[in-house]
Amino acid sequence: MMEYLLNGFADAFSMAVFPVLVLGVLGGVILGALPGLTATMGVAILLPFTFGMAPTPALVMLIGVYIGGIYGGSIAAILLKTPGTPASAATVLDGHTMAIKGLAAKALSIAAVASFIGGLISTIVLIAIAPILADFALRFNAPEYFALALFGLTIIASVSAKNIMKGLLAGTIGLLVSMVGLDPISSVPRFTFGILDLYSGINIIPVLIGLFAISEGLNQLEKLSSDKQDIPPKFDYKLLSFSDFKKILPTTIKSGLIGTSIGSVPGAGADISAFACYNEAKRVAKNPEEFGNGSMHGLAAAESGNNGVTGGSLVPLLTLGVPGDAVSAVLLGALIVQGLTPGPLLFTQNPEIVYGIFSSMIVANIVMLIIGFLGIRFFCRIIEVPKIIMIPIIIFLSVIGAYAINNSMFDVGIAITFGLLGFILNKLDIPSSPILLAIILGPMAETNLRKSLILYEGSWSFLYDRPIALAFILFAVFSVYSTIKLKKKERLAEEKK
Amino acid sequence: MLNRNIFFPSLVIFLSLVFLVLISQFEEPRYQDAPVGAGFFPAVIAIIQIIICSVLIIQYKKKQKPQKEVTLISSHSIFGFTFLIGYAVLITLVGYLPASLIGFTYYLLFYRVKKPLYYVTAWIFVFAIYFLFSEVFIISLPEGLLFF
């Protein structure tokens, strides 16, 4: 194995691969930072360019885009409160608050370091225990997926700011939105009102753009009237200090490991992982009230968690041929185009390719860290752009981003609708993140609950007679209990003040 | 004046009731061996939504403190809504490039921006995005119904 890994490193630094890898990571960072352009989209866009390339540089470039894209999403999330990708929706919670407080450079450096550590852990785990993790994920069936989704949904309570009921209300709105379209089991149209575009359901990207980017644009526009003079925000270029690094390291490592585990479960992507890691970091934090108010731990957990998925999602792809998320589904296509069949045989028939990918992932993470740090000064300039110019830029990018997903004006309409909804909900102190979380997890929960009921002939016993499902359900109960306890503590502390 | 803390939950309760009526009208598949149908999950969610909103109204009534009412929608946000919708309509009709140039310029004129640099930046941005999407990423931008 070591021999293949060393050869892989030699390949990664060769003139045929290294420039492609740097370009891939850089392209991924830029794509990820643009709202609407996700890592999945980046990999999909660049896929045709790899058809004429040799297998290693082709796959390395796409993996570079993947790693860079997940990190890139955090740049817009931190600076513009506009998550570039769904994976960085959790980054907004603390990252943007830090930027508002004048700590944009620090937030960006934490994001870069946490993404690097998350990605590195993920790759190391991928190399070391890929087959074991894949075997664990193989035991997942409908009841386990339902329990996992249920556990994910309990995170809503944690990201609900002050009022859990308002967060839950947002969550139910998201769940109802996720049910628009053809029913996944019986194909009965639900809430489609005869509109053909609604039959395939509501795409999450325009919803994300609307809720976070457009509503933020409208919020800023409103503030413009109160800020008579357009004073550029004050911030310093102080990066993450060594003492801060030591503080966030345990959270970052833990989140990287959680992210890797979540990523290795097919169907659970970087977005779910980021929220799950954020929730876990908040649950064990000494000062959980800091979460949502610019907590370094919250930001590090979300970023390490979403980049932790990059390696994890390749575990089932490479060992079983089952993609862990949308990006690895595109990578599966890339492997097939190159004449390779993902699965256990890939390790024996083409070990040089597999270990070449592993080595390149480590190098890609290092390149991402370097680009992240070198780019901080440049990225920070974004915040100095006068708001009067920035607002239409956000709105235009949002509209174009929503259109570009499917070349559809219908998606633009969805983005605008959710933009208005997000703006109004913000005024009512109802958080937007639970809507997104519910849209991601709703279909997973519903489909697998109904599949489980079919499997168990109408009996609900799958909730307690399957150990993995039971474990997730217990985690869910514990998560809700600890959140309620935490909120109570916060309220008491606030009343004392 | 309508109180938003009562009005919004009441609106959601009303919509949930409408959803429950719609759910009862979902088509039945010809063959159904599943214990729960397509309406089960949405119905549960709609009922939960009604309960949550009722709790929110009770919560508000219980601890009703004199609160400073902030306007829900200001004139600037109304401009924002119309600008957004206007831009979407314009882009459908004339395509990305003319719509964005007109939209950005109108927006700057509306806010009485006098610095020429801002106008130049806006136009450069519009062209840069056009180049990035159509030439680099090869993603087609809206061409407009009038020029198609």
Question: Taking residues A347-352, what's their average pLDDT?
Answer: 78
φ/ψ (deg, to 5) at A440 = -70, -45
Query: Which residues, in sequence order, are bridge partners of residue A181?
Result: A190
- Look up residue A313 and give its two tokens: 């999602």
What mean pLDDT comes out for the span A112-118? Answer: 91
pLDDT digits (tens, 9 = 90+) for A438-461: 887 888 889 889 989 888 888 888
pLDDT > 70? residue B68? no
Given a cut of 70, whether residue B65 has pLDDT beyond it is no
Residue A381 or A70, more confident: A70
Nearest Cβ partner of B52 from A169, A179, A407? A169
Residue A169 scores a pLDDT above 70: yes
DSSP characters over B4-55:
HHHHHHHHHHHHHHHHHHHHHTPPPPSS--SSS-TTHHHHHHHHHHHHHHHH
* Rounded Cα gap, residues A78 and A236, in angstroms: 15
Percent of chain A with pLDDT over 70: 87
Instruction: Please judge whether B76 and A222 are an interchain contact, meaning their C-beta atoms are less than 8 angstroms apart.
Output: yes
What is the longest distance spanned by two Cα atoms in chain A? 67
A399·B87 Cβ contact <8 A: yes
pLDDT at A341: 77
A241 to chain B, minimum CA–CA distance in Å? 35
Residues B61, B47: Cα–Cα separation, whole Å: 21
- ipTM of this complex prediction, to 2 decimal places: 0.89
**How far apart are the C-alpha atoms of A306 and A87, rounded to whole Å?**
6
CA diameter of chain B = 69
A-B contacts (CB, under 8 Å): 153
Q: Is residue A233 pLDDT above 60, yes or no? A: no
In whole numbers, what is the pLDDT of chain A averaged over residues? 81
User: What contacts 24+ positions apart, CB below 8 Å, involve B101-105?
Assistant: B101/B126, B103/A392, B103/A396, B104/A392, B104/A396
Tell whether the model's pLDDT for residue A14 goes beyond 70.
Answer: yes
Residues of A in contact with B107 (CB under 8 A): 392
| Cβ within 8 Å, pair B87-A428 | no
pLDDT band at residue A366 under the 50/70/90 scheme: very high
Burial readout A319-346 (b: 16 or more C-beta within 10 A, e: otherwise): bbbbbbbbbbbbbbebbeebebebeeeb
Q: Give φ, ψ of A74 to 5 degrees.
A: -75, -25
pLDDT at A131: 60
Helices (H), A154-287: 155-158, 164-178, 204-208, 215-226, 242-263, 270-284
Find chain B residues with C-beta within 8 A of A214's C-beta.
Answer: 84
Task: Say what the pLDDT of residue B72 is.
Answer: 66
Locate B116 and state its tokens: 């020429």
Tell me, what amino acid is at A45?
I
The mean per-residue pLDDT over the stretch A186-192 comes to 88
Tell whether the model's pLDDT for residue A16 goes beyond 80.
yes
Between A186-195, A209-218, A259-268, the lowest mean confidence (pLDDT) is in: A259-268
Residue A420 has pLDDT above 70, yes or no: yes
Give the span between the Cα atoms of A478 and B10, in whole angstroms.
32
Torsion angle (degrees, nearest 10) of CA A493, A486, A274, A8: 100
Q: Has residue B107 got a pLDDT over 70?
A: yes
How far apart CA A417 and CA A173 sit, in angstroms, is 14
Report whether pLDDT(B15) > 90: yes
Of all residues in chain B, the percent with pLDDT exceeding 90 is: 30
What is the rounded CA–CA span in Å between residue A35 and residue A37? 6
Interface residue of A41, A183, A220 to substitute, partner B, most B CBs within 10 Å: A183
Separation of alpha carbons B146 and B148, rounded Å = 6
Contacts B12 to A, Cβ<8 Å = 169, 173
Query: Angle formed by the axes of helices A18-33 and A351-384, to 10°?
Result: 40
Which has the higher per-residue pLDDT, A121 or B140? A121
Q: For the range A488-493, what are the long-range contacts, defined as Cβ-Cβ under 8 Å and sequence gap of 24 or more? A: A490/A288, A490/A289, A493/A289
Nearest to A190 among B26, B74, B139 (CB): B26
Task: Determine the pLDDT at residue B61.
Answer: 84
Residue A497 has pLDDT above 60, yes or no: no
pLDDT value of position A266 = 61
The confidence score (pLDDT) of residue B10 equals 92
Say if residue B47's pLDDT is above 90: yes
Q: How far is CA A466 from CA A309, A442, A469, in A?
A: 25, 21, 5
**A333 vs A57: which has the higher pLDDT:** A57
Beta bridge partners of A478: none
Q: Which chain B residues have a beta carbon less than 8 Å from that of A389?
A: 118, 121-122
Distance CA A87, CA A271 (A): 4
Rounded distance between C-alpha atoms, residue A341 and residue A322, angstroms: 11
Across A87-91, A114-118, A380-384, least confident range: A380-384
Collapsing DSSP to helix, strand or coil, A190 comes out as strand
Residue B7 has pLDDT above 80, yes or no: yes
- The DSSP secondary-structure symbol of A332 reads H
Residue A44 has pLDDT above 80, yes or no: no
A387 touches chain B (CB under 8 A): no
How confident is residue A287, by pLDDT bands cut at 50, 70 and 90?
Answer: confident
* Residue A6, pLDDT above cutoff 80: yes
The mean per-residue pLDDT over the stretch B51-71 comes to 77
Is A396's Cβ below 8 Å from some Cβ in B?
yes
Distance from CA of A427 to the nearest CA of B (A): 6
Least confidently predicted of A360-364, A429-433, B71-75:
B71-75
User: What percent of chain A lies above the pLDDT cut of 90?
Assistant: 6
With a cut of 70, say whether residue B56 has pLDDT above it: yes
Spatial contact of A435 and A170, defined as CB atoms under 8 Å apart: yes
- What was the pLDDT predicted at B14? 95
pLDDT at B13 over 90: yes
| Residues of chain A positioned with their CB less than 8 A from the CB of B113 | 388
Does the CB of A168 have a partner CB in chain B at under 8 Å?
yes
A493 reaches B (C-beta below 8 A): no
Question: For A49-92, what is each residue's pLDDT tens digit?
Answer: 776 778 888 888 888 888 888 888 888 888 877 776 777 788 88
Put simply, the answer to whether A392 touches B104 (Cβ < 8 Å) is: yes
Total-model pTM: 0.74
